[in-house]
């Protein structure tokens, strides 16, 4: 459980020590130290144009541009500056957002260029690539109070087409093309949540109406009997798309189902993270009182505790999605929603993520992963936790 008390850093913010050890379950940890020290390491890898070395989208193996990781590191640098008032962090954050506001990042004033590909759908990394940029731009506005960032975020949202019949977003191409609707629930959710966050800072009835329509449909577009997958129900789409339509062979479907199961297990906490984020800002009791949604969330968190906690070898799991941090956020913010359910404690999830994937010498989350650059940048998810003093 999280405890208030005297903060005992596991390493010093002011010294570049090389004698760090793995953390123990009995340690009291100030997560601010992790955030600041990782930001210190980030200063050493930032490029002259403000960007950071890109990864390759983890197990998907797409060749990323610097947009994604720069969006993540920007948030971490802002938090490090808030904690320390060290001007180096502020300057580095300003440089990161200077890159995000450049033509390199958003070449034609439509979608941000997230993946190097000839595939128009991939170039923007669907909706999630844009959602991560939105998340970062909103953080920049909150810290700097510069409307440039909010203007940029608002413009990006407004240029995305929203299908009023399906209440789902189309992907936006780099040149303004209205591409197909993204069928992955977590992408629709993350984009909508961050779009709605903008309306909490600047009134925009057009964006607010669209996001609320999506939120109201959540219980009808995810299937209770497939709660682990959290995929958009196929019957939602007009053309009744099937998961497998290019072959009827059972063996192909079996392989596909196993692959989808592995993906779904890795992304379950990522979807729930966005739902917990929405729970903080969206007060529609009709949605949160929906029995189907309650059941999905409760059973998903229980599944995380009983199954995913031990799922170390999934390439879509801890080594790509920082599940330990995500579940901590979920449990912190859904505590009342989950009623008396406890399961594994928050500290257990965070310790697991740090001990296996955080390098305590280089102060970066870069161990046991095939994509060090991307995983390291996802340390920023720690900034979303309110309780930073961690103890057994």
**Quick check: 378 and 365 in contact, CB under 8 A?**
yes
DSSP code of residue 182: P
**Who's near 384: CB < 8 A, 6+ residues apart?**
277, 325, 329
Q: Which of 138, 160, 272, 299 is nearest to 218 (CA)?
A: 272
**Quick check: 190 and 127 in contact, CB under 8 A?**
yes
**Who's near 27: CB < 8 A, 6+ residues apart?**
8, 10, 391
The CA distances from residue 167 to 141, 153, 232, 392, in Å, are: 28, 20, 12, 44
Q: pLDDT at position 25, please? A: 61
- For 64-84, how does the pLDDT look when each residue is reduced to its tens digit (9 = 90+)? 999 999 999 999 999 999 999
In angstroms, rounded to a whole number, what is the distance separating the alpha carbons of residues 215 and 246? 32
Sequence-distant contacts of 59-63: CB under 8 A, at least 24 apart: 59/315, 59/316, 59/320, 59/370, 59/371, 62/115, 62/116, 62/117, 62/122, 62/125, 63/115, 63/116, 63/117
Q: pLDDT at position 9, please? A: 34
% of the chain beyond a pLDDT of 70: 86
- For 240-263, how does the pLDDT look when each residue is reduced to its tens digit (9 = 90+)? 344 334 333 444 454 456 777 788
**pLDDT confidence band for 10 (50 / 70 / 90):** very low
Q: Where are the domains of the chain?
A: 111-221
DSSP state letters, 92-159: HHHHHHHHHTSTTTSTTSSS---B--S-HHHHTTTTHHHHHHHHHHHHHHHHH--HHHHHHHHHHHHT
The answer on pLDDT for 392 being more than 90 is no
Residue 163 pairs in a beta bridge with 168
- For 137-182, how does the pLDDT look when each residue is reduced to its tens digit (9 = 90+)? 999 999 999 999 999 999 999 999 999 999 999 999 999 999 999 9
Structure tokens at 26: 């009995």
**Quick check: 207 and 198 in contact, CB under 8 A?**
yes
**Quick check: 168 and 153 in contact, CB under 8 A?**
no
The answer on pLDDT for 19 being more than 80 is no
**pLDDT confidence band for 234 (50 / 70 / 90):** confident
Give the CA angle between residues 20, 83, 36 to the nearest 5°: 25
DSSP code of residue 21: -
The answer on pLDDT for 239 being more than 70 is no
Q: Which of 344, 333, 324, 235 is nearest to 288 (CA)?
A: 333
Q: Which of 115, 27, 137 is nearest to 67 (CA)?
A: 115
Q: Which of 122, 112, 116, 220 is nearest to 160 (CA)?
A: 112
- For 258-306, how does the pLDDT look when each residue is reduced to its tens digit (9 = 90+)? 777 788 889 999 999 999 999 999 999 999 999 999 999 999 999 999 9
Q: pLDDT at position 378, please? A: 98
pTM: 0.90
């Amino acid at each position: 459980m999280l405890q208030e008390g005297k903060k005992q850093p596991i390493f010093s913010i002011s010294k570049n020590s090389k004698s760090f050890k793995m953390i123990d379950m009995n340690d009291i940890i100030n997560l601010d130290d992790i955030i600041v020290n990782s930001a210190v390491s980030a200063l050493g890898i930032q490029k002259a144009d403000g960007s950071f070395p890109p990864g390759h989208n983890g197990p998907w193996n797409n060749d990323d541009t610097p947009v994604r990781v720069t969006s993540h590191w920007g948030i971490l640098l802002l938090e490090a500056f808030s904690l320390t008032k060290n001007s180096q962090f502020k300057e580095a954050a300003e440089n990161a957002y200077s890159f995000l506001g450049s033509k390199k990042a958003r070449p034609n004033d439509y979608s941000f260029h997230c993946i190097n590909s000839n595939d128009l759908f991939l170039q923007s990394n669907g909706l999630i690539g844009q959602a991560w940029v939105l998340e970062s731009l909103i953080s920049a506005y909150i810290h700097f109070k510069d409307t440039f960032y909010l203007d940029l975020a608002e413009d990006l949202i407004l240029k995305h087409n929203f299908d009023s019949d399906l209440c789902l977003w189309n992907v936006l191409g780099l040149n303004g093309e209205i591409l197909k609707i993204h069928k992955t629930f977590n992408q629709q959710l993350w984009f909508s949540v961050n779009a709605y966050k903008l309306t909490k800072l600047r009134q925009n009835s057009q964006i607010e109406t669209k996001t609320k329509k999506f939120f109201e449909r959540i219980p009808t577009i995810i299937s209770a009997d497939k709660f682990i997958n959290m995929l958009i129900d196929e019957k939602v789409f007009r053309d009744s798309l099937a998961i497998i339509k290019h072959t009827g062979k059972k063996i192909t479907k079996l392989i596909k189902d196993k692959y989808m199961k592995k993906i779904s297990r890795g992304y379950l906490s990522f979807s729930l993270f966005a739902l917990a984020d929405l729970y903080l800002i969206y007060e529609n009791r009709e949605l949160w009182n929906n029995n189907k949604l309650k059941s999905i969330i409760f059973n998903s968190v229980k599944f995380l505790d009983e199954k995913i906690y031990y799922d170390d070898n999934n390439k879509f799991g801890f080594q790509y999605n920082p599940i330990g941090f995500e579940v901590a956020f979920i449990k912190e913010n859904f505590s009342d929603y989950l009623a008396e359910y406890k399961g594994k404690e928050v500290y257990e999830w965070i310790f697991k993520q740090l001990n296996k994937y955080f390098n305590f010498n280089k102060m970066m989350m870069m161990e046991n992963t095939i994509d060090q650059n991307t995983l390291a940048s996802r340390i920023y998810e720690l900034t979303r936790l309110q309780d930073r003093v961690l103890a057994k």
